[in-house]
Amino acid sequence: MAEARVSEDQDQFSCPVCLDLLKDPVTIPCGHSFCMVCINACWNQDDQRGIYSCPQCRQTFSPRPVLCRNYMLAEVLEKLKKTELQAASPVHCYAGPGDVECDSCTGRKHKAIKSCLVCLASFCETHIRPHYQSLAFKKHTLVKASSRLQEKICSQHDKLTELFCRTDQSFICHLCKMHEHKSHDTVSAAAERTKKQTELQEEQRKHQQRIQEKEKKVQELKQAVDTLKRCAQAAVEDSERIFTELICSIEKMRCEVRELIREQEKTELSQAEGLLDQLEQDIADLKRRDTELEQLSIHSFIHFDCVSSQLQQFR
């Protein structure tokens, strides 16, 4: 918790130019505070124009404001530095994977908390103390611990790259601006960093807006899919109901037709059986009479008269 509080305090009292804790803090008319060295370096570039601007809010001043040390802020920073030195226990500050190692430690290396752009070395909380306590290191520039210190130093002039050349898109020192980049469009590294940060934030805002738009479309599509599923389910249920009713109706009609056919069959069979019985009875009667006629024909010559009489009866 103490380390987190110290980190928040460092962000609050950091110089917008070098991004480190303020050293010899000065407050300019717009209210922003900078290291004495940093703001002088920025304004030295504007001497020819005679118009000086705040690297943070870009407010302009003319003539060049007189810089006075902010003693109240300096006292606060001094207390913060002491708190920073006491915040972490050395037992738990050994360098691990990805940490910057202290260049002054022998044996097992401790984790570096600051890097010096003058010494081109990184130091742990123990070995950084001389930079805070000795006047010999007063003009040294301390930054957050970094393993890429050489990138912050001009390889040609061994000076801190405090400027950015927009023409060549590279960080340069003040000597570079006076020679190789004399006619180029140059700004302070802090101003360029602020500009890039603003552009990055704008790009991030647009990206988040696109994400929100995509998420909104996803939600709309999900709602459309849910609606489609509900409609499809309703259509299936309606079709099932309709076909069930239709099947029941057809089944009922089938039963009625079957009963009608059976009734008609029964009626016609009854009629046919009655007619068949009548025909069989007629056939039996005819056969009987045929037999009788055959017997009469045998005795026709003997009893002719009698046969005539009986034949008359058949007619």
Domain of residue 79, CATH code: 3.30.40.10
Contact between 186 and 163 (Cβ < 8 Å):
yes
Quick one: pLDDT at residue 259? 93
Based on the fold, state whether residues 69 and 8 are members of the same structural domain.
Answer: yes
Q: Is the pLDDT of residue 4 over 50?
A: no
Asked if residue 162 belongs to a domain, the reply is no
- Per the prediction, the chain carries an average pLDDT of 83
79/26 same-domain check: yes
Please say which residue of 87, 104, 124 terminates a domain: 87
Encode the chain in three state secondary structure: CHHHHHHHHHHHCECCCCCCECCCEEECCCCCEEEHHHHHHHHHCCCCCCCEECCCCCCEECCCCCCCECHHHHHHHHHHHHHHHHHCCHHHCECCCCCCECCCCCCCCEECCEEECCCCEEECCCCCHHHHHCHHHCCCCEEECCCCHHHHECCCCCCECCEEECCCCEEECHHHHHCCCCCCCEEEHHHHHHHHHHHHHHHHHHHHHHHHHHHHHHHHHHHHHHHHHHHHHHHHHHHHHHHHHHHHHHHHHHHHHHHHHHHHHHHHHHHHHHHHHHHHHHHHHHHHHHHHHHHHHHCCCCCHHHHHHHHHHHC
| CA atoms of 289 and 296, how far apart (whole Å) | 10
| Greater pLDDT, 193 or 199 | 199
Indicate whether 281 belongs to any domain.
yes
Does the residue 4 lie in any domain? yes
Q: Summarize pLDDT for 266-313 with one digit per residue, the tens.
A: 999 999 999 999 999 989 989 988 888 888 877 655 555 554 555 555
Residue with tokens 């870009």: 58
Decide if 309 is inside a domain: no
> Residue 224 falls within a domain, yes or no?
yes
CB 40 within 8 Å of CB 121: no
Residue 5 lies in a domain: yes
Is residue 268 a part of any domain in this protein?
yes
Q: What pLDDT is stored for residue 210 in this prediction?
A: 93
Same structural domain, 4 and 65: yes
Is residue 163 a contact partner of residue 190, using CB atoms and an 8 Å limit? no
| Residue finishing a domain among 126, 152, 178 | 152
Residues 219 and 285 in one domain: yes
Other C-beta atoms within 10 Å of 225: how many? 10
- What CA–CA distance (Å, rounded) separates 256 from 193? 93
Residue 105 counted as domain residue: yes
Evaluate if residue 11 carries a pLDDT over 80. no
Domain boundary among 53, 87, 121: 87
Residues 72 and 97 in one domain: no
More confident residue, 84 or 4: 84
pLDDT value at residue 86: 56
Give the percent of the chain with pLDDT over 70. 88
pLDDT band (50, 70, 90) for residue 84:
low
pLDDT at site 234: 94
What is the domain extent for residue 114?
Answer: 88-152
pTM: 0.38
- Top pLDDT among 87 and 258 is at 258
The count of domains in the chain is 3
- Where is pLDDT greater, at 112 or 144? 112
- The pLDDT assigned to 137 comes to 85
Q: Is the pLDDT of residue 258 over 90?
A: yes
